[in-house]
Every structure is written in C-alpha cells, then in structure tokens.
C-alpha cells in the first residue's frame, strides 16, 4: 500500500505546502519543475542548496490502463485519473519526508547537513549523493577505502 494512495490533495497544493513548509523553517529560495517523468524541487537553506528529484509514474504503464484484478482496459480518462492519483501520492510522500527532516532539525535532533546530505547540491551541479554513490559502491566491491590523498601515494 502506497503512502497517501487515496489522497485528494492536488500536486499543485502539495508543491505549495512544501514551499510554505520550507519557508517556515528558514529557506530563502524555492523552485519546482518537471520534465517527462521526473519532477524536481530545490531550495536554499542555511547556505546550502538542496535538490530533490521525484520520479513520476509512467503514464503508459499497464497499471493505469488496466483495472487490478480483472484486468479490464480503462478509458483514457480513467487511466489519466489513476495516473494522477499515483502522482498525488508520490508528492505527498515527498512532503512527508521534507517535513520530517525539517522537524528533526528544528527539534535539535539533527542538522540540515545530516538530514539532506545526499541532496545537497555541489558547485558542479551534482548532488553529494550522486558524487559519493560510485565511491561507496567501489568501497563495498573492493573492500578498500578510497585513498585520502591519491596524488601522494607511492
């Protein structure tokens, strides 16, 4: 069962809720957009730029075009409605995670850097997570940590 799978809150309302939420916690910039099956929100807070990429469901997926159980083909309008519902659910899940992270920071349990580390945007436009993930994979595959100062090794 997906989080908020029956929510009636629109994507537009959820984006506005996220913007209001992060403003309340001190964000000084906010942006949102989408391309094909990927939505993005970004904001600046405490001198850090944060970016969340939200994969959206594929409109052509069988789960939207056919009913569960009996597998009857839906009309185009019914398929679109099912797809919209899945989008609303994902956006509400994004809102939930951003809110939980902000609450943890506000309560002193955590910090912006700790909560949003993967999503902090680096000077080259990649996120810290995008930069670190291949290094973490290599460390697990080889059992070796990357060198601290690779140019000074013998």
Evaluate if residue 154 carries a pLDDT over 60: no
Evaluate if residue 153 carries a pLDDT over 60: no
Whether the CB-CB separation of 138 and 146 falls below 8 Å is answered with: yes
Please state, in angstroms and rounded to a whole number, the distance separating the CA atoms of residues 24 and 102.
Answer: 10
Whether the CB-CB separation of 54 and 39 falls below 8 Å is answered with: yes
Kindly report, residue by residue over 80-99, the tens digit of the pLDDT.
999 999 999 999 999 999 99
* Helices (H), ranges, 8-151: 11-24, 62-65, 76-106, 112-116, 128-142
Evaluate if residue 152 carries a pLDDT over 70: no
Question: Between the CA atoms of 8, 116, 130 and 38, what dihedral angle is there, to the nearest 10 degrees?
Answer: 20
Kindly report, residue by residue over 32-69, the tens digit of the pLDDT.
999 999 999 999 999 999 999 999 999 999 999 998 88
pTM: 0.87
User: If 0-12 CB within 10 Å is exposed, 13-18 middle and 19+ buried, where does residue 102 land?
Assistant: buried
Instruction: Give the residue with greater pLDDT, 147 vs 27.
Output: 27
Whether the CB-CB separation of 79 and 65 falls below 8 Å is answered with: yes
């Amino acid at each position: 069962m997906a989080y908020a799978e029956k929510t009636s809150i629109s994507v537009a309302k959820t984006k506005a809720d996220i913007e209001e939420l992060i403003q309340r916690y001190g964000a000084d910039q906010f942006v949102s957009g989408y391309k094909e099956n990927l939505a993005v929100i970004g904001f600046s807070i405490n001198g850090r730029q944060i970016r969340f990429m939200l994969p959206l469901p594929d409109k052509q997926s069988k789960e939207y075009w056919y009913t569960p159980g009996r597998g009857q083909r839906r009309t185009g309008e019914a398929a679109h409605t099912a797809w919209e519902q899945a989008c609303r659910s994902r956006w509400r899940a994004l809102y939930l995670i951003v809110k939980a992270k902000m609450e943890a920071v506000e309560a002193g349990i955590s910090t912006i850097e700790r909560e949003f580390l993967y999503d902090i945007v680096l000077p080259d436009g990649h996120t810290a997570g995008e930069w670190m993930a291949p290094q973490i994979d290599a460390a697990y595959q080889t059992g070796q940590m990357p060198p601290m100062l690779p140019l000074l090794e013998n």
